[in-house]
Structure 1
Amino acid sequence: MSSLTMAWLVRYDANNRPVPELATAVPSRANGGISADGRSITYHLRHDARWSDGVPFDAEDVRFSVNVVRDPANNEVTHVGFDLIDRVDVPDKYTVVFRLKRPHAGFYVNFFGSAFAQPCILPRHVLAGEKTINQATYNALPVGIGPFKYAAWRRADAVEMVADPLYFGRKPKLRRIVFKIVPSRDTVLTQLTTHEVDLWLPVPAAYYDRVWNVPGIHVLRQSSYGYNHLDFNTEHGALHDPVVRRALRLATDRATIVAKIRHGVGVLQESVVPPAHPFHADLPRVPYDLAAANRLLDGDGWRRGPDGIRAKNGERLAFDFAIGTGLPDTDELVELVRASWAQIGV
């Protein structure tokens, strides 16, 4: 929803090229936006941008938003790159200078860029008096700066947006968008069939074939920059051991996950950079190999106990698996991984 109600310093276009949005230009060495040592990034801002409540946008909103992201008391999806900011200077109302501790190649994305789930620039005039943003009344109906603005947010029911006449960019062709909150996937499929809903994005893999058969619905299948992944908490004693992590990867049957749980929708890959990305590189495929995983753990001193679970120096290979449950595909995924890992003593 933020992609519709917010704006970024730099937005990525359909060809994955950075283009200015709230900024007037994408900073570069050629235009003076990036200093010779790479430690100063200067953005010149638009003069015509207004928040959806009519208040003008300016450089202080950017500086305020940096401070919000850097404050550990605030719940932010990511802080990547923000620890490299030494300070933010505001020479005038429409100029922001990021002073970095060292050069950071990802600043286009991380510092209020549209790619992935980056933090949004927030309205200082609304939030400056709050101790944190977590419980701010602002969250009930946020003030934005994008092509749409929030008209209503009915918890557990729907979010309604309307075109914002104050938006500085190209006006949207739609006048109104409603995001319906429908807990049941079967109900969504029914509402799609009856045209009570117009768009289902993304369609869960388990419903992919059924959606194809809905009359009057156009199905678009294309590459995505999203990816499914298992992440290791390396502060856990056993998971701090790279041998354990390699063994778990060898013991994860990704091909079966794609074929049976994802119903063939998806691409196996070895990094977070998807095939459609210009920086994608083909890496050697890591196979599903239980024997190799067991050899790694044997060689690293992890011994099976009477219950079949391996241990080393008092640390057991027993983990809590955090994942959303209650959906058939995620439940199947947990059971498949559990069964595979059990065969290597986890």
Structure 2
Amino acid sequence: MTVRRTLFGAAALLALAPMAFAAGERGRDGEVRIIYWQAPSILNPFLSGGTKDVEAASMIIEPLARYDENGNLVPWLVEEIPTVANGGVSADLRQITWKIKPGIVWSDGTPFTSADVKFTWEYCSHPEGGCAQLTKFEGVTSVETPDDLTVIVNFDKPMPNPYGPFVGGESPIIQKAQFENCVGARAPECTDANFAPIGTGPFKVVEFRPNDVIRMVANENYREEGKPAFATVLFKGGGDATAAGRAVMETGEFDYAWNLQLAPDVIAEMEKGGKGKPIAGFGPLVERIMLNNTNPDPSLPPELRSVSIIENYEQKNPHPFLRDPAVYKAMSMAIDRPLLVEIGYGQAGKVTCNWVPAPEIYNSHTFDATCGVQDIAGANKLLDDAGIVDTDGDGIREKNGVPLKILYQTSTNAVRQDFQALIKQWWSEIGIETELRNINASVFFGGDPGSPDTFQKFYADVQMYANTFNGTDPQAYLANGLCDKAPRPETQWQGENISRFCMKEYDELWKKLSETADIEERAAIARQLNDMAVENGMMIPLVHRGRLSAHSNTLGGVKLNVWDSELWNVADWYRIK
């Protein structure tokens, strides 16, 4: 059933009509048209780990600070970035104080205050809320609001990187008045709030059709005079990357197309259309295969299927063979990563066996010697030596009597389906049978707790996708490997530890990272965590991907940002006359 929400009635819909505007006036450039072929399904990033949802929401709700196109932390809703030097971060690193800019109001005209910031923490940290961004608040013990413009965040230990809470597109502020009755288990039920959050950003929602269309109008209460330049936004979702790229570079129907996951020759041919151009940049985005550390057998009841049950760091519901190092290492060895890069990304891809390949200081070189070399013979020998052999002559190996049969799922996308076909073939050469499944991207990344097809629910043996993190410090991102961050029914199937990976040594090392201030030491620990996750079967990294999007030749002000939302500076976009 299609759910449709029209939020502001006739008055706001009139704002969509063409109007005359003076030069420099807000709304002077008419409509901007954006296409995300992975369609947003919700506009509350705390209830979705999908990048497309986070980025669509970033046009409406904002964090206190964010990262610019160069990875620099910049103030957004605050006066300055707190540091030890300016007194905003305590000498013992256990407290950070933010000073909100005076005069900021929500799109409904009410004051934006420290109470909204505190409430956002309470909302996300509620144990029954299933917050998808919980790692951003790791270590927070309290949020104080001594006055309307002051926010004090207290941590349970020294926090060398205190810029997790309320920083970046994944950790924006939501309005207390709108969401205060939507806390805990009620969070997914508040459809109007989740589909049309009141925000401080340059636009506000008029209409939202999940997995289809968002219509927005300029926020008349936006804090910067003359911004945004566009009066309305048509945000179209769905289709595929090919259609999105053509809509910008060949037909000119749209102004901005996100995440053009297409082969290099396809992009080059589109650019000949003359209507737009591709833009690219490398951040920490990695295409990977996630390994289910738990048992996804469909015969299991919901409380057991793909659910992590841990006692003293021992998995009580383990996958029948993917926890065996011989299996997942052989699967990795069988993959020809250079070929994947060549057919899928060209210059916009690099071979990697790392979870965190950027910034460079965090890029481990442990796997460099073997990562770019396919070794089918070595993979077969590894399995043979482990006693995982084909005993009945059907071409499929068994472990403890269980055939190595894998359900391999990903989102629907031409490049990903090419990858699936190749990897299925390579795995067949080492005695692993693979069933392929692809799911509409809007559903796969949607976070709907009632859907069996989300990447969080992970009802498969392995799944492939890419994700990244905001900013240049991977501490919160690496927290995605902590035992207690696994999605489960009682958290509405939200949680960042998608593989259900659990390792005491990893948790202890991450704690050390969170307490270490020296940048070189932090980098060394982060590289160790990266290696630990890969060596112990959280994932099989494939390609370090550049972000590739496109904008029309008449759209100005675009600054591709690989460290935050791509739409981070949409208030500065304008029409080139």
- Asked if structure 2 preserves the Cα contact closer than 8 Å seen for 1:81 and 1:106, the reply is no
> In terms of mean alpha carbon deviation, does 6-15 or 148-157 score higher?
148-157
Q: Which residue does 1:289 correspond to in 2?
A: 375
Q: Which residue does 2:177 correspond to in 1?
A: 125
Among 30, 34, 51, the alignment partner of 2:89 is: 34
- Letter aligned with residue 86 of structure 1: T
Q: Which residue does 2:257 correspond to in 1?
A: 200
Q: Which runs of 5+ in 2 are unaligned?
A: 1-55, 295-317, 433-577
Among 149, 152, 155, the alignment partner of 1:94 is: 149
How far, CA to CA, are the matches of 2:324 and 2:344 in structure 1? Answer: 29
How far, CA to CA, are the matches of 1:227 and 1:87 in structure 2? Answer: 34
Q: Which residue does 1:47 correspond to in 2?
A: 102
1:36-66 C-alpha deviation (Å, 9 max, x unpaired): 3322222222232211111211122122111
Q: Which residue does 2:27 correspond to in 1?
A: none
How far, CA to CA, are the matches of 1:315 and 1:102 in structure 2? Answer: 46
Q: Which residue does 2:167 correspond to in 1?
A: 113
- Letter aligned with residue 54 of structure 1: G
Structure 2 residue 361 is the aligned partner of structure 1 residue 279: yes
Q: Which residue does 1:210 correspond to in 2?
A: 269
- Asked if structure 2 preserves the Cα contact closer than 8 Å seen for 1:75 and 1:134, the reply is no
For residue 28 of structure 1, report the CA deviation from its aligned partner. Answer: 1.5
1:53-99 C-alpha deviation (Å, 9 max, x unpaired): 11211122122111222234335433214242222222222222222
- Letter aligned with residue 270 of structure 1: C
- Asked if structure 1 preserves the Cα contact closer than 8 Å seen for 2:242 and 2:262, the reply is no
How far, CA to CA, are the matches of 2:398 and 2:156 in structure 1? Answer: 42
> In terms of mean alpha carbon deviation, does 8-17 or 183-192 score higher?
183-192
For residue 104 of structure 1, report the CA deviation from its aligned partner. Answer: 3.9
Among 204, 210, 233, the alignment partner of 1:149 is: 204
Secondary structure at the aligned position of 1:303 is classed as coil
Structure 2 residue 336 is the aligned partner of structure 1 residue 253: yes
For residue 215 of structure 1, report the CA deviation from its aligned partner. Answer: 2.5
Structure 2 residue 228 is the aligned partner of structure 1 residue 172: yes
Change in Cα spacing, 1:305 to 1:54, as seen in structure 2 (3 Å) is farther
How far, CA to CA, are the matches of 2:118 and 2:142 in structure 1? Answer: 9
1:219-254 C-alpha deviation (Å, 9 max, x unpaired): 334334433121223334333334433322222222
Q: Which residue does 2:411 correspond to in 1?
A: 324
Change in Cα spacing, 1:312 to 1:123, as seen in structure 2 (3 Å) is same
- Letter aligned with residue 135 of structure 1: E
How far, CA to CA, are the matches of 2:283 and 2:159 in structure 1? Answer: 26
How far, CA to CA, are the matches of 2:399 and 2:73 in structure 1? Answer: 49
For residue 260 of structure 1, report the CA deviation from its aligned partner. Answer: 1.9
Secondary structure at the aligned position of 2:410 is classed as coil
> In terms of mean alpha carbon deviation, does 300-309 or 31-40 score higher?
300-309
Change in Cα spacing, 1:241 to 1:147, as seen in structure 2 (3 Å) is same
* Alignment root-mean-square deviation, CA: 2.7
How far, CA to CA, are the matches of 2:244 and 2:229 in structure 1? Answer: 25
Q: Which residue does 2:285 correspond to in 1?
A: 226
- Letter aligned with residue 249 of structure 1: S
Change in Cα spacing, 1:21 to 1:190, as seen in structure 2 (3 Å) is closer
For residue 280 of structure 1, report the CA deviation from its aligned partner. Answer: 5.0
Change in Cα spacing, 1:20 to 1:265, as seen in structure 2 (3 Å) is closer
How far, CA to CA, are the matches of 2:123 and 2:260 in structure 1? Answer: 34
Structure 2 residue 397 is the aligned partner of structure 1 residue 310: yes
- Asked if structure 1 preserves the Cα contact closer than 8 Å seen for 2:125 and 2:131, the reply is no
TM-score, length-scaled by structure 1: 0.86
For residue 105 of structure 1, report the CA deviation from its aligned partner. Answer: 4.3
Q: Which residue does 2:111 correspond to in 1?
A: 56
1:121-151 C-alpha deviation (Å, 9 max, x unpaired): 1111001012432121212322111122223
TM-score, length-scaled by structure 2: 0.54
- RCO higher in structure (CA 8 A, sep ≥6): 2
Secondary structure at the aligned position of 2:286 is classed as coil
How far, CA to CA, are the matches of 2:147 and 2:338 in structure 1? Answer: 55
For residue 175 of structure 1, report the CA deviation from its aligned partner. Answer: 2.8
How far, CA to CA, are the matches of 2:127 and 2:419 in structure 1? Answer: 33
Q: Which runs of 5+ in 1 are unaligned?
A: none
- Letter aligned with residue 189 of structure 2: Q
- Letter aligned with residue 260 of structure 2: V
- Asked if structure 1 preserves the Cα contact closer than 8 Å seen for 2:251 and 2:275, the reply is no
- Asked if structure 2 preserves the Cα contact closer than 8 Å seen for 1:29 and 1:35, the reply is yes
Secondary structure at the aligned position of 1:121 is classed as coil
Question: Identity rate of aligned residues, in percent?
Answer: 28
Q: Which residue does 2:71 correspond to in 1?
A: 16
- Letter aligned with residue 340 of structure 2: I
Secondary structure at the aligned position of 1:27 is classed as coil
How far, CA to CA, are the matches of 2:352 and 2:199 in structure 1? Answer: 36
- Asked if structure 1 preserves the Cα contact closer than 8 Å seen for 2:322 and 2:328, the reply is yes
How far, CA to CA, are the matches of 2:379 and 2:87 in structure 1? Answer: 52
How far, CA to CA, are the matches of 1:257 and 1:195 in structure 2? Answer: 30
How far, CA to CA, are the matches of 1:71 and 1:174 in structure 2? Answer: 37
For residue 278 of structure 1, report the CA deviation from its aligned partner. Answer: 5.2
Change in Cα spacing, 1:245 to 1:44, as seen in structure 2 (3 Å) is farther
Q: Which residue does 1:341 correspond to in 2?
A: 427
- Letter aligned with residue 95 of structure 2: S
Secondary structure at the aligned position of 1:196 is classed as coil
Change in Cα spacing, 1:260 to 1:145, as seen in structure 2 (3 Å) is same
How far, CA to CA, are the matches of 1:85 and 1:304 in structure 2? Answer: 51
Change in Cα spacing, 1:15 to 1:345, as seen in structure 2 (3 Å) is same
Secondary structure at the aligned position of 1:138 is classed as helix
For residue 12 of structure 1, report the CA deviation from its aligned partner. Answer: 0.7
- Asked if structure 1 preserves the Cα contact closer than 8 Å seen for 2:251 and 2:273, the reply is no
Structure 2 residue 299 is the aligned partner of structure 1 residue 240: no
- Asked if structure 2 preserves the Cα contact closer than 8 Å seen for 1:81 and 1:104, the reply is no
For residue 336 of structure 1, report the CA deviation from its aligned partner. Answer: 1.4
Secondary structure at the aligned position of 2:182 is classed as coil
- Asked if structure 1 preserves the Cα contact closer than 8 Å seen for 2:242 and 2:260, the reply is no
Change in Cα spacing, 1:233 to 1:87, as seen in structure 2 (3 Å) is farther
Secondary structure at the aligned position of 2:152 is classed as strand
